[in-house]
Chains A and B, each alone.
Chain A
Amino acid sequence: MKAELEKRLVKGPDGVEFEVEPLRDYYCEALPQVQRPAYLHIVEDLFNWARAESIWILGFGTGCGAIEMRPLMTPRFDAYRYGIQWRPTPRQANLFVISGYLSVKTLKRVIRSYEQMQNPKYVVGLGSCTINGGMYFDSYNTIKRLDQYLPVDLYIAGCMPRPEALLAGFLELKKLIRAGKAEGANQYAENFAWYKANQKQVIHDWDMPDYNW
């Protein structure tokens, strides 16, 4: 545990001393809840259609695969016509694209960002590194299988997959969302203990609460 995260006394500018407990004060301890779909089937269907047609990607590139996402914004591929756009903040994003290899150090940030996204949220593993480690299969500091740490909805295989493959993958993801099969956020909440145990197994300097939205 880092010193800055430990419980301590702080003197305010007005001279009053007060206690600060960063893990409790700066984070919320409430664990993720399973969020049920809308009660009426037709309403959930409408929402699923809207979710499929409006995919907001978190602009977070973890590995070399991030370079393949940039062309999607350009005139040549233009993903915007499919309702796909990039958001700079996890709060507003629905889709987390893990773009390529994921080092253990980045995994920590990925988990924090993922947990800040709102339900429903989707994860796409991009490139073979997210499936079996790819060319980093024997690396000491990258994770090998992404779905042990986060619920993955879809993989796009290749090293690297071309932007066309990404577009095809996103269209495939749309079908999953439309059919109501992309329930990764609820899966994460249901198997929370398992995911946390896996994450803690590789992240040794765990200095955050278990769930930090």
Chain B
Amino acid sequence: MTFDWMRIPGSLLTLFIVFNYGLLLNALIAKIAARVGRRHGIPLWQNYVDLIKNYGQRSAISHGVHFYLGPVFRLTGGIGLLLFVPTLYGSDLFANLSFAGDLILALYFVFFGTLGMALGAAESGHPYAAIGVSRGLSQVTAAELPFALAVFAVALQYQTLSVTEIVAAQQGGILNWTLFTNPLAVAAAMLSFLGSMMRPPFDLVLAPQEIPIGPPTEYHSSYLALMQTNRAIFPIAKIIIYMNLFFGGATSWPVLFLKVFLIYMVSVLVGVVSPRFRVEQSIRWFLIWAVPIGILAILWV
């Protein structure tokens, strides 16, 4: 088996581009949300400043090994997700480290960071962290079900587990996208998407007003900076998977930026007009509305 060594700098370049795009996009969305509230909002470069400040804090304390590993796992989840999925279709440089069965690995990586974070937050010993983790894991598990069903439906539909081949099958016009060839799977996946973006109505995990901020309560300085780095990478990586599976992938960076922005905006638009679900409500919501659609999508294929 030959390995194309150019894939390594290509992957690093992908990481760099996605990281910066993620930071700017998060700030842009915070700004949009602020404008909805008739505020001026944060400057676009605010996330960079916050990141530098947190990396530059002089002291940091530890609660143990897992406390260290929590943010590391989280960042690994984000970077791993990004690197094992092709970013641009038809580009050798930005195919990253994708391979024949990367769809399964991607499913695994989506969950990986959450679990690592749960371990780390639990070791911090803060009661709010424990509440946040228990809520987070139950909600993510419920939200992951319809996504997994949708992914299986798509894999059955195209008879492959390779993301690249799934994108290839959707080329040649907007009507070839999974969005139109298998709308049920896309509907189930998009409902699950709402649950994993940490925005209302599914932002109970962080619950800024009640349990201060849930799992990261004890995280500070560089730990927090690692998690902020992941906040820039992980959502984008996840949206890139959605884009590849359901929305025809992208052949150039501008198309990718646009598609990722539009998919992200779905969760933002739902978020700015929604109140918050309690955890049992959100689980019930996923089981009643999203999972049956996912099952129908599999039956329909």
Is B269 at the interface (CB under 8 A from chain A)?
A: no
Contact status B220-A91, CB under 8 Å: yes
Interface segment among A76-84, A99-107, A148-156: the answer is A76-84
For A118, give its contact among B43, B46, B52, B220 (CB under 8 Å): B220
Contact B217 A89 (CB under 8 A): yes
A92 within 8 A of B: yes
CB-contact partner of B39 in A28, A80, A89, under 8 A: A80
> Do A35 and B58 touch (CB < 8 A)?
yes
Residues A8-52 near B (CB distance < 8 A):
28, 33, 35-38, 46-47, 50-51
Other-chain residue from A35, A46, A54, A78 in contact with B59 (beta carbon distance below 8 A): A35
Contact A51 B46, CB 8 Å, known A78-B39, A80-B41, A89-B217: no
Q: Which of A36, A47, A81, A213 contacts B56 (CB 8 A)?
A: A47
Across the interface, do A91 and B219 meet the contact criterion of CB distance under 8 Å? yes
* Interface of B (DSSP majority class): loop
Q: Is B213 an interface residue (CB 8 A)?
A: yes
Task: Looking at the assembled complex, report how far the CB atom of A170 sits from the nearest CB atom of chain B, in whole angstroms.
Answer: 15
The answer to whether A119 and B57 have CB atoms under 8 Å apart is yes
Q: Does B42 contact A (CB under 8 A)?
A: yes
Chain A residue with Cβ nearest B125: A26
Interface status of A68 (Cβ within 8 A of chain B):
no
> Which residue in chain A gives the minimum CB-CB distance to B213?
A88
Most chain B CB neighbours (cut-off 10 Å) among A38, A87, A89: A89
Please, how many angstroms separate the alpha-carbon atoms of A91 and B216 in the complex? 10
Tell me the complex Cα distance, A51–B54, Å: 8
Please measure, in the bound complex, the distance between the C-alpha atom of A118 and the C-alpha atom of B39, giving whole angstroms: 30
Write out the residue numbers on chain A whose beta carbons fall within 8 Å of the beta carbon of B92. none
Chain B contact patch, size range: 20 to 34
Please determine whether A119 and B59 come into contact, CB atoms closer than 8 angstroms.
yes
A50, A81, A119: the one within 8 Å of B40 (CB):
A81
For A94, list chain B residues within 8 Å (CB): 53
Digitize B24-40: 1 where CB-to-A-CB distance is under 8 Å, 0 elsewhere: 00000000001001111
With a cutoff of 8 Å between Cβ atoms, the chain B residues found around residue A78 in the complex are: 34, 39-41
A119 to B60, CA, bound (A): 8
- Are the CB atoms of B60 and A46 closer together than 8 Å? no
Closest to A26 in B: B125
For the complex, give the distance between the alpha carbons of A37 and B59 in Å. 11
Is A147 on the interface with B (CB-CB < 8 A)?
A: no
Known: A35-B59, A120-B58. Is A47-B41 also a contact (CB below 8 A)? no
Shortest Cβ distance from residue A44 to the other chain B in the assembled complex, whole angstroms: 9
Please give me the residue from chain B that is nearest to A43 by CB atom: B56
Set A54, A87, A92: member contacting B46, Cβ < 8 A: A54
Q: Chain A residues near B49: list those with CB within 8 A.
A: 50, 53-54, 83
Q: How far is the CA of A47 from the CA of B50 in the complex (A)?
A: 10
- Interface assignment of B221: CB less than 8 Å from any CB of chain A: yes
**A87-B144 Cα distance, complex, nearest whole Å:** 30
Please report the C-alpha to C-alpha distance between residue A37 and residue B57 in the assembled complex, in whole angstroms: 10
Taking CB as reference atom, which chain B residue is nearest A34?
Answer: B58
Q: Which residue from chain B places its CB closest to the CB of A90 in the assembled complex?
A: B220
Q: Are A118 and B34 touching (Cβ within 8 A)?
A: no
Whether, in the assembled complex, B208 has its beta carbon less than 8 Å from a beta carbon of chain A, the answer is yes
**Digit string of B53-74 for contact with A (CB within 8 Å is 1, else 0)?**
1001111110000000000000
Contacting residues, chain B, for A53 (C-beta < 8 A): 46, 49, 53
CB-defined contacts of B41 to chain A, threshold 8 Å = 78, 80-81
Contacts of A119 in B (CB 8 A): 57-59
Q: Nearest CB to that of B217 among chain A residues? A: A89
B53–A50 contact, CB under 8 A? Answer: yes
Cα A81 to Cα B40 in complex, Å, equals: 6
Q: How far is the CA of A13 from the CA of B49 in the complex (A)?
A: 48
- How many Å lie between the Cα of A119 and that of B61 in the bound state? 11
- Which residues of A come within 8 Å of B, CB atoms? 28, 33, 35-38, 46-47, 50-51, 53-54, 74-75, 78, 80-81, 83, 85, 87-89, 91-92, 94, 118-120, 185, 213
With contacts A28-B61, A80-B39, A81-B42 known, what are 9 further pairs, Cβ within 8 A?
A: A37-B58, A54-B46, A54-B50, A81-B43, A88-B213, A92-B220, A118-B61, A118-B221, A119-B58
* In the complex, the 9 A-B pairs of residues with the closest C-beta atoms, listed nearest first: A88-B212, A47-B56, A35-B58, A50-B52, A91-B220, A50-B53, A119-B59, A75-B38, A54-B53
